[in-house]
Amino acid sequence: MQSFDAVDPATGKVFAQVHEADDVLVGRAVNAARRALDRGWADTPVQERVALLRRAADGIERRFEDFVAAEVRDTGKPVTQARNLDVARAVLNFRTFADIVAAAGEEAYLTDLSGGRQALNYTVRKPLGVVAVIVPWNLPLLLLTWKIAPALACGNAVVVKPSEETPSTASLLAEVLAEAGAPKGVYNVVHGFGSGSAGQYLTQHHGIDGVTFTGSSDTGAHVMRAVAPRVRPVSFELGGKNAAIVFDDVDVDDALDGLSRSVFTNTGQVCLCTERVYVQRRIFDDIADGLVRRAQALRLSDPWSDDTTTGPLISEKHRHKVLDYLTVAEEAGATVITGGGVPTMGALSGGWWIEPTLWTGLTNKDRAAREEIFGPVAALIPFDTTEEAVTLANDTDYGLAASVWTNDLRRGHDVAQRMRTGISWVNTWFTRELRSPFGGVGLSGIGREGGEHSLHFYTEPTNVCVQL
């Protein structure tokens, strides 16, 4: 069996070897999942499946620091983020979906027929079956548990392929689920790459009943082509080129606090991060100067230090991509108002570090303002009127998220609803209600997950009609 290197992004050093699954091993994983369903997992009472999720949450808490260490080593993100966001949210994902599934009901209707008769129509939801779960490298544990918690709660078996960049937490979770009592074959993990590797073998396997995928729009298109001949359902959360609209009546400091989070969190490697900031002209300089100060105050350092705010990019390849866009922006006439290069990192100079970067002088016609970069970068662009701001923000092939910053809540509601996105925030960013729908439009995805929307994807409904 072939293997590949697991590399620490903060140092550029190899810390482990990972076995790459071939088509035979992927087939064994899919067959194991099918056998788990056939042995009765799909028919397990809901309360037993819900109890498994709660035990899994408890298991993550018991091994909390193990998950933190694995996440930091794989991604290079600051340890405080791994603790307070990634691993904490994994626990919450399991507990939230346990509660949602435990309380879920079904539709039932009395239908009037001729002659005073009636029929009872009710819905039975059955597990989708064997679900391929493909997760990205930016929030590997958070997004993995976001998908498998509702999938398992609904009675499915899963085959997980984590990103080749971040293999550790998916394997660690297998240990926790086994300890929690998950039947053999319910949760399976295969490691590898996309095309010509585990990802392709998994999505093309005839035994897969559905695919849930988070990642780039290009890869999403490849997955759609792979499942199209068998007409399998898909749930995609893909890329974004997210906009923020900042009106001149806003509290500038509050807006700056929110914008600095939305641009620079996780080194800009979050699908919800802001890469386009539209600022009403009267306060444009105030916002630009304030964001520069906040960018320059970020601490790029050892991810294991509690005062580190910003880690490296995920890989050397990804840093090349982001650096290429820095060149593209400058060639288009952008003015770099902070950042724009690779920092000097001393003992960490072997890692994939990059300076948080802000531009002025770009327009919506420029590539750097249209294409997803997925780094700690943003273009600041002025506007004059509300209509202009809405037009600029919606001028994109993506449609994942937007944020609106204003003290006029009537305008905030109006503009947020006019955004062609899956989620619109007003005076906040990354605030999540796990019962609400999550997903994108356009190149940002297909379908919704979250709350009962997840249950709809991970189950197939059957209408039963009984004449009374």
- Which residues are designated catalytic? 237
Return d(Cα 151, Cα 149) in angstroms, integer: 5
Smallest CA-to-CA distance from 283 within 375, 389, 395, 393 is with 389
Return d(Cα 240, Cα 136) in angstroms, integer: 14
230's tokens = 């068998």
Q: Give CA separation, 341 vs 11, 148, 327, 344, 388, in Å.
A: 18, 38, 10, 10, 32
Return d(Cα 162, Cα 145) in angstroms, integer: 12
Q: How far is C-alpha 109 from the chain's CA centre? A: 37
Residues constituting the chain: 468
75's tokens = 């991604």
- Residue 119's φ and ψ, nearest 5 degrees, are -125, 145
Burial (CB < 10 A; 0-12, 13-18, 19+), residue 342, is middle
Q: Give CA separation, 377 vs 218, 255, 315, 445, in Å.
A: 21, 17, 17, 22
